[in-house]
Structure 1
Amino acid sequence: MPEPYLISFPKLGDEAFGYISVAEQLQYIPFEVKRTFWTYKTPEYIVRGRHAHYRTEQVLVAAAGRIIVTTENVRGDIQFFRLEDPSVGLYVPPHVWHTMQYSDCAVQLAFASHPYDEKDYIRSRDEFRQVWRTAL
């Protein structure tokens, strides 16, 4: 099973004039992007995500602000990622439970390998652990 990992996008520019990051033809993303979405104006006390996917892979980018992403793989290994540089994305493979907590005014950009399908979601942590325990 693949593990979550950070992806560095090119960062062009300098502090005096600003930066641009580019993913031409989305070449830094390890799957074909079939859905792009962004979340914003999420209060700091809200924890989003709280699910895993059967098939969908994602790359998450903090386009603005800070996002703390917590992941748990099928073996129960937990990792914490602090996204706050728009030139860095987090690859989240399928079968990984993940949650996100946002700073004030954070904007999260997400690239996904599949269109939205409610049947692809595991929304109960107990169900997540039960489903993947049998896969080990």
Structure 2
Amino acid sequence: MSLVKWIEFQKLGDHRGSLVSIEQGKLIPFEIKRVYYIYHTGEGVSRGFHAHHNLKQVAICMAGQCRMVLDDGRSREEVVLDCPTKGILIEGLTWREMHDFSENCVLLVLASEPYEESDYIRDYTEFCKLISE
């Protein structure tokens, strides 16, 4: 089973431009309790390097591109996010890393819960130990 679960958003628009509408309960399989975005990531900088116990997220690259690595302790998959009409669903207990941000990358993240430090697993060895229990 693939770790990468794509969500495709319908693009609307005409000669004036494009629009994508995101509604919880339709394509987003959880109540959205937090929205944030990552931008102006410096050249050669990678982000993430953590998992969550329970948090679910959908990551959408609104502009530019980045490479996302997902790992469930048994398999590891990489995907390039480069389209504002496609996002990936990231379940709890999935290690995530973001690499190779383009200069103009804006990565939007929809989250199922507000920020809670105790939900983070920031050590990969601890993550692997937790998964194997």
TM-aligned CA distance change 1:66 to 1:9, over 3 Å? same
> 2: distance between equivalents of 1:26 and 1:104?
33
Alignment pair present for 1:78 and 2:76: yes
- 1:1-136 equivalences under 5 Å are 3-13=3-13, 17-25=16-24, 27-75=26-74, 77-101=75-99, 102-134=101-133
CA contact (8 A) 2:24 2:32 kept: no
Moved over 3 A (4+): 1-4
CA contact (8 A) 2:34 2:112 kept: yes
Identity %: 36
Which moves more between the two structures, 25-34 or 61-70?
25-34
Task: Note the alpha carbon deviations across 1:91-117, whole angstroms, 9 max, x for none.
Answer: 000000000121112001100001101
Alignment root-mean-square deviation, CA: 1.7
CA contact (8 A) 1:63 1:109 kept: yes
> 2: distance between equivalents of 1:80 and 1:4?
8
TM-score by length of 1: 0.90
3-state DSSP of counterpart to 2:129: helix
Q: How many residues align?
A: 132
CA contact (8 A) 1:4 1:93 kept: no
TM-score by length of 2: 0.92
Unpaired runs of 5+ residues, structure 1, are none
Unpaired runs of 5+ residues, structure 2, are none
